[in-house]
Structure 1
Amino acid sequence: MDNNLSLKKLKKPVNIKKPLSLNFPSECFFNIYFKTQQIRNNIPTVPKINRFAALTICAACLLVPFAANFKPAFNITINGEHIGFASSKESLFLAENLIQSSLDQYGQADFSLSDDIEISSSFCLENDIKTTDELIYAITNSSENICMASAITVNGEIIGACEIADDTNSVLKSLLDEYKANPSDNASFIQDVKVKTLPVSTDLVMTSSSLLQSLKNNKNIDVQVISNVQHTESIPYQTQKIESDQIEQNLVKTMQFGKNGIASVSEQVVTINGQETQRTVLHRSIITPATDCIVAVGTKSNGIGSGQFIVPISGYRFTSAFKIRDGRWHKGVDLAAPVGTPVYAADNGIVTTSKLSDSYGYYIVIDHQNGLKTLYAHNSSLLVKEGDVISKGQQIALSGNTGNSTGPHLHFEVHSNDVAVNPQIFLNFGTETS
């Protein structure tokens, strides 16, 4: 019995201490004695035997309900400090195993629980028996090098922790918010980032500002932001080309100036760590349409040749080349074709001759104004007159068999500085046939 307890000194009920110790029986006894003394003082006239019975009943009434609230338990001390009661040794061992498993899982196997853990049988109020989670908190917080904290894990690895979960969540929110341009942006971590309350090394517990800086410096954490943006963009105008026979060939005249339009564009933009990685157009609407630029390209020949000839007739047979034939010089090529086959100007030029002669029959001479002239003979019909300005490829006659001709064909000559030259220098007529 505690020497400090004395019936003579007892003036009020004793405060029963927790955890329960060896003083528990004496403390209960003094409380019962105090209550019975109060009752005894109030019933002085009751016979002694009856008073004793009454006191016994009162003591039982006081003790039984009081004792009913106490349960057998195991008192746990670590390094001599009481940390709580466990319902069984197994619950304590389970808490220890869970702590160590958590340390191992998150790469903190170097940390271990104190070996100075004592367990003793005792009694305590039922509400004072700790659950497994409460035991984990109590055991962990009694350690010098580990503690329960709100930790941030990235793909299962602890990056850091704060003592308060609200601080840890605030750190993650601050990091995400730094990459958001607008409050409506959706920011998230690409990696598996979680907040967990865990036993961690005290070295990992830091202030929220230090934890935020640690996350910023961690290259294994990527923040993806998906945002919807609205902007206007220019619609480039298109250029339309039209041909005009009122404008000289190779000249271009702007008939209508172009003007860019304006469109409203809604896009979804994806960024990772502030760098754009994807942009998708969700909607585009035209505010102001673009005005096309219209230019007229002249087709009216100016009579100046390009120097590049085209074959003046199609569907022909190459029957005679530029050569000596029948004892005299054949100054052109003969291209046999049915009467009425279209004949075309080999290049731009001006018609200098369009008439009938005994030898050439109906023939045309075109001056290309670049030192070259072409002659088209033995036609059945002439479609242009002297002075006409001709475009390359323009139909000028119908082939025939007029003049000194032995059959329907086009006789075609090329003159350079008024001297007949071989047309095959300029054109490929194929293989000569008889």
Structure 2
Amino acid sequence: MINSQIKNLLLKVGKILNKSKIIVFALLVIVGIFTTTVYSGVTFAYALEYNGEVIGQIKDKEQYDEAVKIVNEMMDEVNFEDVASTPEFRMVITNEESLLTPEGVADGLVKRTSSIEKGTRITVNGKTAAYIKDVFGAEDFIKNYLDNYIADKDYVSSFVAPVECTDGYFLKSDFTSFSVFEALIKSLDVQSVKTLKEEKEIKFSTIKKRDDTLPFGSTKTYSKGINGLKYAVTKTYMVNGEEVKTEFVGDEIARQPVDEVIIVGNRGNYIKSSWIDTLDAIWPLQKVKGQNISAYWGDDRNHKGLDIASAFETEIYAVQDGIVIEAEYDDGYGYHVVIEHEGGFKTLYGHASSLCVTKGQKVMQGELIAFVGSTGMSTGNHLHFEVIRNGEKLDPYYFLGL
């Protein structure tokens, strides 16, 4: 409208000047330059007045509504409209850079509303316990209180009942004094927990593998074992500074152990004794129906012992007095026992389902040492029985008096 009035005024001036086209054209150019300079980068807006003060300029009234929504989201149980004054809007021409954001308007409204103030709501176990002004720093106070509750810094303290701090805008009439807030916090039960981790070694296991190319009884290390590492975790609990319990939580594995692998020689000089160099041995099994010799020494498989088929869990006995020098599992013999006797003799009992003796144990002739099974390289329940003398495997048939 202003631009049009200026143009009309200039046209009238032009008529007075004998309607000189040159002068009119020059004036129109001047007007164009003037209007471009004045109106470039400006916009119509509203000056927002609230409680007698100008908060700033906003693009439209919808921005005020958006600012009210922001304030309401930060208020507790009270609508801003219920405590706010009536705003006034006055149209102005301004630069776009001068316009406030809805967040800026919201901040201005709160600062100019005398009945509300920024602060923190404290809830205990889900229920509102207090409101505290923002300047007192409720969260920092609580953190510092818990951090220094126990002198031993290994303890981590927390309230037994959940305590939460929520920032927002609240009625000033709801705020408590700092001393009341402090007394509330110090009245709450506090649990302190110390976690202790004790470093422990995990011993590696030894796996024995039989090798028919090495002399019987010889050994060599295939791969070295490496101990693992674990932490035994315990927790000590205190309530209000008094210790109430200590409990074992469990083990945290930091590094798994690596098994040691030992190769054990299993090659023997298969001698069929022409003499009865007897062990004065007894039959190594409980006599049950259906028992029979299923494989003899030195058959087409170059068999190293005597296989006696028998029912699962048939009792296995020591054929003579001696000392157990092996009672373990390997891939070939499965669960097995080796007993050392007088005169350089050893007897081996293989493929057991389970063992009844341990390494280093003294056993008597006829003593229960294991049960028949089919562990290791086996296709059925049986006892694999061997006799070894000075590293040489002998035909067990003769030593059993068969």
Superposition TM-score tier, normalisation by shorter sequence: 0.3 to 0.5
Question: Greater relative contact order: 1 or 2 (C-alpha under 8 angstroms, separation 6 or more)?
Answer: 2
